[in-house]
Amino acid sequence: MSTTRIPQQRTIPTTNVLGVEVSAVSLEFATDEILHWIEEDRQHSGLWSGHCGLTTGHYVAVTGVHGIIESQDDPHFKRILNASGMVVPDGMPLVWLSRLAGHRSVTRVYGPDLTLSLSQALGARQKSAFYYGGVPGVADQLARILETRYPGLKTAGTFSPPFRELTSQEEDGVVALINHSGAHVVWVGLSTPKQERWMARLRHRLKVPVLIGVGAAFDFHTGRVRQAHPWVQRSGFEWLFRLCMEPRRLAKRYLRNNPLFIYLLLCQQLKLRDFRAT
């Protein structure tokens, strides 16, 4: 077990899962920590101007087995995960591993649940959110749904990027759009690892306290993709439900990643390979 230090001497316990430091947190803890970052940013808001190196711009990686496996063949992506403010356990296997490591209070921090939990808290504080991702119209629809559900929550803006890399000019325009929006949070729905790369690349250019990559939450909350029942989510078999819903898109991911994850965990437990966090 180890810890990751973040600003103002606050520490978050972590569990090393195949070299990724997964934050040992609950949904409530993660929500409170993000609110702390927003308040910390407000107290230091005068420092933003002319200080591009300010480190209060956090990003949160909402990660399950897929993200952990993606990092095994990509050291740069592993560094992106480990440089985040939190790598929250989006899958039950990561929750179970954290509990086995001694962190008994860990719960699943499911991207769609974090979206609702934090949106409720933002609404109560009259804060605003920017929605980046989804096919055209989805970000706008999600913003309307959350504004209706949580009075007081404000929409700072939305943007649905094309299914290609943005040009440098387009990216500059997105940065300007978000910075002029006054958002306290940017929700990023691009899927892993694209969303984590985007957040890590732009975090120092964006005047926003926190960026959160929540993947399919945009589609779940707008009804474009059906969610598994909560008991299925808690059982650890949500992957099977999603595979049945989207076999063509997800078959290769799950049928490769799940056996590989188990094999690599055995290697870590038996110390057959070095899974040092980098």
For residue 217, how many other CB atoms are within 10 A of its CB? 26
Helix (H, G, I), strand (E, B) or coil at 169: helix
Tokens of 128: 């605003």
- 177 band by pLDDT with thresholds 50, 70 and 90: very high
| pLDDT of 20 | 98
Tokens of 50: 């002319």
Rg (C-alpha) for the chain, rounded Å, is 18
Tokens of 78: 């592993």
| pLDDT of 101 | 96
Mean pLDDT, rounded, for 11-39: 97
What would the pLDDT profile of 123-146 be if each residue is shown by its tens digit?
999 999 999 999 999 999 999 999
Strand 86-89 and strand 2-6: the pairing is: unpaired
- Quote the CA–CA distance of 156 and 82 in Å, as a whole number: 29
Q: Where does residue 60 rank: exposed (0-12), middle (13-18), buried (19+ CB within 10 A)?
A: buried
Mean pLDDT, rounded, for 174-179: 97
- Return the H-helix or E-strand segment holding 21: strand 20-23
For the chain, how many residues are written?
278
Position 7 pLDDT exceeds 50? no
Cα atoms found within 13 Å of the Cα of residue 274, Cβ hemisphere only:
3
Position 53 pLDDT exceeds 50? no
| pLDDT of 223 | 85
Q: Do 86 and 25 contact (CB within 8 A), yes or no?
A: yes
- What is the phi/psi pair of residue 17, to 5°? -115, 100
Q: What is the rounded end-to-end Cα distance, in angstroms, of the chain? A: 15
| pLDDT of 249 | 81
